[in-house]
Amino acid sequence: MKFHWSEVTPERLWLDRRAVLAGMGALAASPAFAADKWSTEAKPNTLSDITNYNNFYEFGYGKEDPARNAGALTISPWSVKVGGLVDRPGTYDLADLLKGVAVRDRTYRLRCVEAWSMVIPWQGVQLSDLLTKFGVQPSAKYVAFETLYRPSEMPYQSSRLLDWPYQEGLRLDEAMHPLTILATGLYGKALPNQNGAPLRLIVPWKYGFKSIKSIVSITLTDTQPKTAWQEQNAREYGFYANVNPRVDHPRWSQATERVIGAGLFGGRRDTEPFNGYAEQVASLYSGMDLTKYY
Ligand SMILES: Nc1nc2c(c(=O)[nH]1)N[C@H]1C(S)=C(S)[C@@H](COP(=O)(O)O)O[C@H]1N2
Ligand SMILES: [Mo]
């Protein structure tokens, strides 16, 4: 089995041992990815689908534009500024940022607000592990993220679609949930540029636009951060953006989704509350009116 990094965690050993004990030694040698309890069982899309059908507006508005244009982005060196209400703020080289933090395989559903979906086998770190490493102060309530701003390499940052750089945010309990990861790879390889290299957020129970790409800053705050899409159109794109088949987008239904890679006639499925992760995350929102906090 091939991993993105050769790091061996206790969890990894347990998973491999379990496969052998179950008499599935072959599984451990196959290219299939180990599923910990947070991964979905659904079959991943092909690497070709995942890397040729993208939203990354810094590189164009068409689904194939990121694959065509994101190669121009310089991803090494890369540093990330960790700031705000943390004990160890600073600007860290990517390797230092991630040093000592366990890498995990996570296959998740991705549901775009535009009503299409895929299944993607990510590798990355739990955001909770990273935040704990930098020491979250008790007054922190939210986490704000920013994408790189470099119009020379990201040509559509000269357009007015969004107020660049792309920004996103999470409530601290959402950020600390084990499902929330910062991805550094997919299919066991370094993250392709069009998927948000070298570091991007993945929050699988929320619409894809929350999963901000090519992150250069992570800030702990006590006030709800601005987000790029909410600033652009607050009626259409909320801060929470939890996948919800019962709350439609003002211009289209969210009840079903087109499955990318299922073929011209194969492909719709019912959208699930919280994108299928309700059991794990619904309690974060108990008592909240999800038609109001969309
Ligand atoms: N910086 C940045 N992050 C972004 C976007 C973007 O345009 N710019 N698009 C978002 C949207 S709308 C989706 S659906 C996902 C798509 O991720 P993928 O291309 O890896 O499937 O990335 C999200 N992250
Ligand atoms: Mo999206």
CA angle, 88 as apex, 82 and 89 as ends, to 5°? 35
Residues 6+ apart with CB under 8 A from 115: 249, 252, 253, 254, 256, 257, 258, 271
**Residue 112, annotated as binding a ligand:** yes
What is the 58 CA–ligand 1 centroid distance (Å)? 10
Distance CA 242, CA 232 (A): 18
| pLDDT for the residue 18 | 35
| pLDDT for the residue 34 | 59
| pLDDT for the residue 24 | 44
Cβ(269)–Cβ(259) under 8 Å?
A: yes
* pLDDT of 191 above 50: yes
pLDDT tens digits along 130-160: 999 999 999 999 999 999 999 999 999 999 9
Distance CA 203, CA 178 (A): 10
- 292 by Cβ neighbours in 10 Å (0-12 / 13-18 / 19+) ranks as exposed
- Please identify, by atom number, the ligand 1 atom nearest to the C-alpha of residue 66: 19
| pLDDT for the residue 33 | 55
What is the 238 CA–ligand 2 centroid distance (Å)? 13
| pLDDT for the residue 69 | 98
Minimum CA distance residue for ligand 1 atom 6: 56
Q: What are the φ/ψ torsions at residue 123 (nearest 5 degrees)? A: -120, 145
Minimum CA distance residue for ligand 1 atom 12: 209
| pLDDT for the residue 17 | 34
Cβ(267)–Cβ(274) under 8 Å?
A: no
Residue 9 confidence class, pLDDT cut points 50, 70, 90: very low
pLDDT tens digits along 211-226: 999 999 999 999 999 9
pLDDT tens digits along 46-79: 999 999 999 999 999 999 999 999 999 999 999 9
| pLDDT for the residue 287 | 97
Q: Which domains does the chain have, with CATH numbers?
A: 36-285 (3.90.420.10)
- Please identify, by atom number, the ligand 1 atom nearest to the C-alpha of residue 56: 7
Cβ(62)–Cβ(198) under 8 Å?
A: no
